Amino acid sequence: MKRLIILACMLIGILHLVGCEDFLEVPAPKDQIDIDKVFNDDKMATSALMQVYTDLRNNGFLCGSRGGTGFLLACYTDELEATTTQMPDFRVFYLGNVNATNSGAGLLWKNTYKQIYMLNNIIEGVDKSEVISEKTKNQLKGEAIALRGILHFYLTQTFAEIPYVFTTDFRWNTTIGKQSVSQVMQNAIDDLLIAEQLLNEEITSFEKVRINKYAVKGFLARMYLYAENWNEAQKYALDVITHSGTSLAALDQVFLKESTSTLWQLKPDAEGKNTYEAEAHIFISEPAPQAKLQNALIASFEPNDLRKELWVKTVGTGNSAHAFKYKQRGATANSLEYSKIIRLEEMYLITAEAAAYNNDWNLCNSMLNSLRSRAGLSELEILDKTVALAKIKQERRVELFCEFGHRFYDLKRYSLLSELTLVKPNWQNYFQNLPIPEAELLLNPNLKPQNNGY
Amino acid sequence: MKKITFTALTVPLTYVLILLLCSLKTYAQEKTLTLSGVVKDVNGPLAGVLVWQTDTENGTQTNELGFYTIQIPTNTQVTFDYLGYKPQTFIVKTSTLNVTLVADENTLDEMVINAGYYTVKDKERTGSISKITAKEIGQQPVANPLAAMQGRMAGVNITQNSGVPGGGFDIQIRGRNSLRTEGNAPLYIVDGVPFNAQPASDAYVSSLVIPLGNISPLNTINPNDIESIEILKDADATAIYGSRGANGVVLITTKKGDNNRTSIAIQSVTSISNLANEMKLMNTQQYVKMRNDAFINDGLTPTAYDYDVNGTWGDKRDTNWQKKFLGNTAVSQNTQFSFNGGSGKMNYLFSGSHRKDETVFPGDFGYKRTNFFLVVNQISKDDRFQFQATVQNSNQKNNLMAYDFTNELYLAPNAPDLYDAAGNLNWENNTFENPLAKLNAKFKYDSQNFLGNIMLKYKLSNSLQVSMSGGLTQGQTNEFRTAPATVYNPAYGLTSEYSILTSSKSSSNTWILEPGIRWFQEGNISKWDVFLGATFEERKQTIFRLDAFNFTSDDLIYNAANAATQQILKDSDLAYRYHAVYARVNYNLLDKYFFNATARRDGSSRFGNNNRFANFGALGFAWLFSREDFLADASWLNFGKLRGSYGVTGSDLIGDYQYLNTYGIGSYPYDGLVGLEPLRLYNPDFSWETNKKFEAALELEFFNGRVATSIAHYRNRSSNQLVGIPLPGTTGFTSVQANLNATVENTGWEFTLRPILFSTPNFSWNLNINLTFPKNELINFPNLEESTYANQFVIGEPISIRKVYNYLGVNPETGLYEVEDVNNDGVINNSDRTAVVKLNPEFYGGVASSIQYKSWSFDFLVQFVKQIGYSPDYNTNFLGSMQNQPTELLDYWSPENTTAKHQLPTTGANGAAVQANQYYKLSNGVFTNTSFVRLKNVQVAYNMNVNKDKNRQLKIFAQGQNLFTITPYKGLDPETNGGFLPVLRTFALGFEFIF
């Protein structure tokens, strides 16, 4: 009996341990911060936005590496020739074999929506916060909304009909449906107009490595141009040209980090590093290990165009050349070049194009000639819309080559992608839109149907 | 076999007997005499034989010469007993009594099984437990205990991932329960201390050379220090480990000292390993023709970059790259020293060992391990207090290249020589990416691990015992991966400014404390054994990872301080806590009916506040029907047992902190601020996975134990699956953590058969056969068709399937691979992926044989698996690209060969062919039979007793591992089945000297 009592006591003692729930409280890990804390502090909230810029530089449309549009779409069109014998995404793009399971297209989609989630999280967090100062709120929200609009703009230009994501609620976003291209464009423009209001003239980052009011106006000019709203396009482009405090940069200065024509640029992740663009394009001996400029592009420069001399470098026997806009392939004591996302020269081209549609030949010629004289080319005197548009198309080609898909998006909006059959016999009309990644269609049937042809 | 297990078993048994003796009354006797003599068996003197006056506590043991003396009254009885031998009793008449004990064939009757928190006689256990002992482990020249288990246990499927030293294993105990791969790891317990089952490596650094960065955590344990490994499989056996044991438990028990003799043992084994099998690849003539055909098919001519066929490389060379890249002989050396002693109520064992393995890759690479191990046991004078302490320390260094070279074997056979005439790396005028340059990229792994535990037991009374067990493990790992600029073609002009170092430093600290009380009472008809216990466990891990770029010099590449730029990629810690109380009640009625009940309440820090605790339990019973009266006269049946169990366990293997809504620190600063990024979609409401297990089994022994067999059937159902439910990219993430109401069922049959073919003092031969038929099935998944898993799972099929296109063959007209357009919509897309390929094995097993002839022993193990896997061309590019291919692909389509098995070669210009190749790779056409029968292990050993002294032994042995494989698979190895180095063939020679 005594033993049973002992046993009972022990049992009670052991069962007492069940009460040790506190034991299961573990401290949060040192590399995680509660979401409420992030948006209760100006600096931490800003850090959340800084991560978006890091992500933009490393992934998605605005990444300068071979997975970004600068390289992929250059291979897709008539700018780059993939020379590798392996089968990386950019060669698949070059060969015109992009299908719905292509990882390059899949990553563009996935990474961009991840960035959009991060932006929506900031927009919602800042809105809810009662602690962050009004000034920081407007600044962060302005930047985030502007970036959200720009990313959707790239998505719709590339994939055509896409969902416009306004919330972080995954229950909603799991079954979200698509919008027409014009609806996405309208939403994107609306986002940028809101951002234009929220952002003030003061440039938060003196290096312009964060989006700012004039970069927003620059993108508005581009979007209105794509939407064929010539008046608004011209208005915004001229606003940037006259009020942004920027000026055309000498050809050898354009891609330096302190270039006067920069509207918005992304900086590398550490001092001393330079751009992914330089790493992606430059090679120093023949044969080109990854890709080289297509002859069609090299031939398209007018004789004596200084841009060919300064931005194209021929290697070895002269059969291989690479883009040499960015010249610093490796590290330097201090970083010299940043990745240009949008720059003033494009505003001249937008103004010229809008002016041509408005038959404003003075403006059109002065814009084009500003760029041409800087490139050592003769001045033009155009009085005809067809001639002007052809000239502008040519100017855009040689000014903006290998920069984030300008060539592809230009040909697409001119409905001239079929020109590519000259260098790509297997080019099909349906290549104008990339396929929606097959995995996405499976996960969200509301994204059906797949783009035509795929 | 017996001798080794005895060492471990005598200790507890001695205690039990001593306790037993102490509890008996002493009878005073008038006349005593000094009885002495020698106890032997057929092989010589036996040490540690218990000699006692029958029915008293007056007793002693034989010394190492088998000699004993005892003061004993005349005309009383004396009993001689030694585990594994038939006890003998004599009436004392003279002062000398020499005894020869005879081995008891029914030893298994007394085989004691470690079930974790308690031990149980093998014949009386209610749970499903498989065991291997030091004997089987010792006869294999392997570095990891899991390798020693392969093919030896029913219900346990172990696959080696890579033949690179220091690599990892996949282990599945009765199949996959969880839809998440990482949710299927078993629980490892080493001497009572849980061992982190996660790979002991940062995959970010190591995964290029070690598949998935899976460096087995058990690499730290020297297999030769292990006395036994028990695998707990069913609910009854695992329930006492609660949620941690949902996927089975691997119990590792280390060797113990010996109370009765002092000995020193030295063991040394040298082995050589090489690639057991080469793949048949095209030779230059075949390759060049295939490439040229590709150009002809595409209507193209070779360009300036097609060096293999445009004449740049010529077609003179015909290199078998397997010989160049995987053809070296790896020499291994393993030396062990152990010191063993004790007296009376105390014993100890110390062992130290060093192991060195080379690789088959070119270059000077290899793996080194040093282990120290000490165990001390003591029992107090009054036998009430028992103490055991174990300390293990291991130090591993692995020095490898950063990439596994196995995929380099597809290099074009006419590719240039690796070295030029001057002995430098040859770049053939920049037309050749010399793979050997990759050797300059290194992977270094340096790991120190410590494990210590103590076990205290105190007997409050004859039926009440309190215990406290505590343990801790500490591990520190440093890993480095370098990519110096010299891995690139010098033509790129890269200098050490482009060199990169990735390094990772991680640590893991765990402790566990387990108080317990045991109450046991033995009556005439029934026995009770009750155990109550609690567990407190904590695991803390830290990891620090950085990248460094732009080095002043490659000579200093391991020093991040020498880099101009350093980036901290990760600096994090995590803590996991686990707490449980549990009870086990064991009731034995008439030694025929056994009942075992386990109940448990588990708490885990991995869940949100409201979901932390859950209750689990199990019931088991066993009926020894051979002890029933109606079978008492059945001389053919020695033993018969029916047992069964049912129970519920859970699982919390989902990673830590998943219920928090947090931002993490980004790896890179931007514009002066370090970024913060959202880590996951917020869902705090998920909870425990549930696992219900059922088992029924029959165990029989016939003809005086000459044939023993068992049949077990199990059915495990795992529901409330914890998964990252996949989400479309528009949500910003690829998944959200949640419980999914899906059920996975594992059922199976396990058979074992142990016939003793011969058993004479000079010659014995027995076999040990195991065979498992596992079946895995997804039995329930609400809304599977609409769910995000529609393309991954099929109800009624195993969870390890691939949903693929149905392959129709090569179209004789187009020459392209064709897959079926199942829904006839004219488009091949995911909705046509309806064919199911089952990747889980159909059956597997092993046949172990053990033959003893006088001092010779001969053992072998044959392992077999029936399964399906990827065929070798899954790992190659499309046919026609600048890459060599298996010779099977020579049967490709051409206008003359329209019934070919493979499609026409293309250079890549034929988009339809490239696309068709992708469909083929996603079809059931790319799967093949990867079943195999493998002579896994052979050992021939000669045991020499020096001077007839049993304590001086010299054992010489030759061993072989993976000697011979029969398989229809055409690739390198059906087990590894992929792009990593296969398991190697090993020959070993060694000796063991005990004195």
CATH number for the domain including A163? 1.25.40.390
Bridge partner list, B717? B692, B745
Query: Residue A423: inside a domain, yes or no?
Result: yes
What's the rounded Cα separation, in Å, for the pair B818 and B812?
A: 10
Higher pLDDT, residue A443 or B886: B886
pLDDT of residue B610: 78
Pairing of strands B32-41, B99-100: parallel
Per cent of chain B over pLDDT 90 is 21
Q: Is residue A440 less than 8 Å (CB to CB) from chain B?
A: yes
> Which pair of structure tokens corresponds to residue B321?
């790259």
CB B579 to CB A97 under 8 A?
no
Neighbours of A233 (CB within 10 A): 26
Contacts of B783 (CB under 8 A, 6+ apart): none
CB B908 to CB A87 under 8 A?
yes
pLDDT of residue A348: 96
Pick from A241, A234, A198: which is nearest to A359 by CA? A234
Most confidently predicted of A214-218, B107-111, B186-190, B655-659: A214-218
Higher pLDDT, residue A228 or B214: A228
Buried b (16+ CB within 10 A) or exposed e, B491-519: ebebbbbbbbbbbbbbbbbbbbebbbbbb
CB A24 to CB B577 under 8 A?
yes
Neighbours of B609 (CB within 10 A): 10
Using CA coordinates, name the residue in chain A closest to B612: A24
Q: What is the mean pLDDT of residues B788-813?
A: 87
Q: What is the mean pLDDT of residues B515-541?
A: 88
CB A170 to CB B732 under 8 A?
yes
Query: Residue A385: inside a domain, yes or no?
Result: no
CB B565 to CB A273 under 8 A?
yes
Neighbours of B639 (CB within 10 A): 19
pLDDT of residue B79: 84
Phi, psi of B439 (to 5 degrees): -60, -20
**B307 residue type, one letter:** Y
* CATH code: domain of residue B83: 2.60.40.1120
Q: How many structural domains is chain B composed of?
A: 1
Query: Residue B71: inside a domain, yes or no?
Result: yes
Query: Residue B867: inside a domain, yes or no?
Result: no
pLDDT band of B11, cuts 50, 70, 90: very low
Query: Residue A428: inside a domain, yes or no?
Result: yes
Query: Residue B872: inside a domain, yes or no?
Result: no
Residues 328-367 of A with CB under 8 A from B: 330-331
Give the three-state DSSP class for A36: helix
Mean pLDDT, chain A, whole residue set? 90
- Nearest-CA distance B549 → chain A (Å): 9
Query: Residue B35: inside a domain, yes or no?
Result: yes
Q: What is the mean pLDDT of residues B697-713?
A: 88
CB A331 to CB B565 under 8 A?
yes
Q: What is the mean pLDDT of residues B283-310?
A: 88
| DSSP one-letter code for B223 | G
pLDDT of residue A11: 60
Query: Residue B995: inside a domain, yes or no?
Result: no
pLDDT digits 0-9 by tens, B617-653: 899 999 988 888 887 777 778 888 999 999 988 888 7
**Residue B279 · residue B886 · CB < 8 Å:** yes
Query: Residue B68: inside a domain, yes or no?
Result: yes
CB B494 to CB A330 under 8 A?
yes
> Which pair of structure tokens corresponds to residue B940?
């021939």
Contacts of A371 (CB under 8 A, 6+ apart): A248, A345, A348, A349, A395, A399
**Residue B77 · residue B54 · CB < 8 Å:** yes
B43 pLDDT exceeds 70?
Answer: no
> Which pair of structure tokens corresponds to residue B498?
């482009």
- Nearest-CA distance A24 → chain B (Å): 5
pLDDT digits 0-9 by tens, B319-378: 899 888 888 899 999 999 999 888 778 889 999 999 999 988 888 888 999 999 999 988
Residues of A in contact with B519 (CB under 8 A): 3, 7
Query: Residue A313: inside a domain, yes or no?
Result: no
Q: Is residue B939 less than 8 Å (CB to CB) from chain A?
A: no
Pairing of strands B835-838, B843-853: unpaired
B173 pLDDT exceeds 50?
Answer: yes
Question: CB-CB: which of B517, B734, B911 is closest to A95?
Answer: B911
pLDDT band of A17, cuts 50, 70, 90: low
Pick the residue of B652, B676, B735 with the most A CBs within 10 A to test the interface with A by mutation.
B676
> What's the sign of the alpha-carbon dihedral B297, B805, B157, B967?
negative
Residues 812-831 of B with CB under 8 A from A: 829-830
Q: Please report where in the chains the tokens 């598949």 appear, as a residue.
A: B211
B29 pLDDT exceeds 50?
Answer: no
Pick the residue of A50, A171, A338 with the most B CBs within 10 A to test the interface with B by mutation.
A50
Which ipTM was obtained for this model?
A: 0.87
Query: Residue A182: inside a domain, yes or no?
Result: yes
Q: Cα-atom radius of gyration of chain A, to the nearest Å? A: 26
pLDDT of residue A201: 79
Residues 736-775 of B with CB under 8 A from A: 736
Measure the CA angle with vertex B304, ends B298 and B306; round to 5°: 60
Q: What is the mean pLDDT of residues B239-268?
A: 85
Pick from B160, B134, B136: which is nearest to B146 by CA? B160
> Which pair of structure tokens corresponds to residue B129?
């437990």
> Which pair of structure tokens corresponds to residue B438?
């990759």
Query: Residue B38: inside a domain, yes or no?
Result: yes
- Nearest-CA distance A90 → chain B (Å): 13
B587 pLDDT exceeds 80?
Answer: yes
Neighbours of A359 (CB within 10 A): 12
Q: Is residue A447 less than 8 Å (CB to CB) from chain B?
A: yes
B538 pLDDT exceeds 80?
Answer: yes
> What's the sign of the alpha-carbon dihedral A254, A260, A261, A262?
positive
Neighbours of B813 (CB within 10 A): 8
Pick the residue of A26, A40, A46 with the most B CBs within 10 A to test the interface with B by mutation.
A26
pLDDT digits 0-9 by tens, A106-129: 999 999 999 999 999 999 999 998
Measure the CA angle with vertex B560, ends B554 and B563; round to 5°: 60
Residues of A in contact with B572 (CB under 8 A): 29-32
Lowest mean pLDDT among A170-174, A244-248, B654-658: B654-658
What's the rounded Cα separation, in Å, for the pair B144 and B222?
A: 7
pLDDT digits 0-9 by tens, B772-799: 999 999 988 877 776 667 778 888 999 8
Q: Is residue B581 less than 8 Å (CB to CB) from chain A?
A: yes
pLDDT digits 0-9 by tens, B918-958: 889 889 999 999 999 999 999 999 888 665 555 678 889 99
A180 pLDDT exceeds 90?
Answer: yes
pLDDT of residue B13: 41
Q: Please report where in the chains the tokens 């600044």 appear, as a residue.
A: A139
CA separation, residue A117 to residues A52, A164, B509, B514, B681 (Å): 10, 11, 36, 46, 10
pTM metric for this prediction = 0.75
Query: Residue A6: inside a domain, yes or no?
Result: no
Per cent of chain A over pLDDT 70 is 95
pLDDT band of B109, cuts 50, 70, 90: very low
CA separation, residue B162 to residues A91, B185, B442 (Å): 32, 18, 18
B15 pLDDT exceeds 50?
Answer: no
pLDDT of residue B28: 39
Q: What is the mean pLDDT of residues A38-57?
A: 92
pLDDT of residue A10: 59
Higher pLDDT, residue A210 or B438: A210
**Domain housing A54:** 39-82+89-209+404-447
What's the rounded Cα separation, in Å, for the pair B153 and B847?
A: 10
Higher pLDDT, residue B953 or B851: B851
Query: Residue A194: inside a domain, yes or no?
Result: yes
CB A440 to CB B728 under 8 A?
yes
Query: Residue A317: inside a domain, yes or no?
Result: no
Give the three-state DSSP class for B304: coil
DSSP E strand stretches across B590-688 = 593-604, 613-623, 637-651, 662-670, 673-678
Pick from B466, B256, B523, B267: which is nearest to B373 by CA? B256
**Domain housing B10:** 2-103
| DSSP one-letter code for B629 | G
Q: How many structural domains is chain A composed of?
A: 1
B452 pLDDT exceeds 80?
Answer: yes
Residues 108-127 of A with CB under 8 A from B: 109-110, 113-114, 116-118, 120-121
Query: Residue B458: inside a domain, yes or no?
Result: no
